[in-house]
């Protein structure tokens, strides 16, 4: 691929070394976010939940994510992208583990309220993902390189 900014190979390798783990971490955020959708039919059948019940859980997560982006953007600016991605990854990991263990152990009590709360907190941590990736990577990419997948850093 072309190298329009004439970055050295060492610079491009280092930039990729930053981008790649962040990209993988962000991909795991997506897996943690969307695994619930994959399991939704099974969970709804097993726990006799309606689509409206399931929608309440999803809506709690959606709105939490939307509001949290506005809160966590300035927070990521203040604490830095590296700390923000670690906070988000640790929180999302913990919440996904708790949710999985609760279902694995046959969770029965106040499922809609509890799951709405847990999923909302999970989505709060999820919101750190894109904010952190942009915060860490933006200084490594010239404006002319942005909008191109990894700005040809892998070539």
pLDDT at 4: 62
CA 151 – CA 154 distance, rounded (Å) = 8
Pick left, alpha or beta for residue 49 (phi over 0 → left; psi -120 to 50 → alpha; otherwise beta). beta
pLDDT at 2: 57
Q: 92: closest CA among 53, 47, 61, 57?
A: 61
The pLDDT of residue 57 is: 93
Is residue 153 a part of any domain in this protein?
no
**Angle of CA points 90, 94, 98, to nearest 5°:** 175
Residue 139 lies in a domain: yes
Radius of gyration, alpha carbons of the chain: 19
pLDDT score of 145: 76
- Give the structural domain span for 39: 11-143
Tens-binned pLDDT, residue by residue, of the chain (155 aa): 556 678 888 988 998 888 898 889 989 888 878 888 888 999 899 889 999 999 999 999 999 999 999 999 999 999 999 999 999 999 999 998 998 888 888 777 788 999 999 999 999 999 998 888 888 888 877 787 777 655 454 44
| Token representation of residue 124 | 């709060």
pLDDT of 73 reads: 92
How many domains does one find in the chain?
A: 1
- Would residue 109 count as lying in a domain? yes
């Amino acid at each position: 691929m072309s190298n329009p900014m004439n970055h050295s190979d060492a610079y491009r390798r280092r930039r990729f070394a930053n981008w790649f783990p962040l990209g993988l971490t962000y991909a795991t955020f997506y897996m943690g976010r969307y695994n619930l959708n994959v399991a939704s039919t099974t969970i709804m059948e097993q726990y006799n939940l309606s689509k409206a019940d399931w929608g309440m859980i999803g809506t709690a997560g959606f709105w939490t994510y939307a509001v949290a982006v506005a809160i966590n953007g300035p927070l990521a600016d203040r604490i830095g992208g590296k700390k923000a991605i670690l906070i988000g990854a640790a929180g999302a990991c913990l919440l996904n583990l708790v949710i999985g263990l609760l279902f694995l152990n046959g969770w029965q009590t106040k499922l809609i309220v509890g799951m709405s709360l847990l999923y909302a907190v999970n989505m709060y941590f999820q919101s750190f993902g894109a904010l952190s990736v942009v915060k860490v990577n933006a200084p490594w990419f010239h404006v002319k390189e942005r909008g191109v997948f990894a700005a040809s850093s892998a070539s």
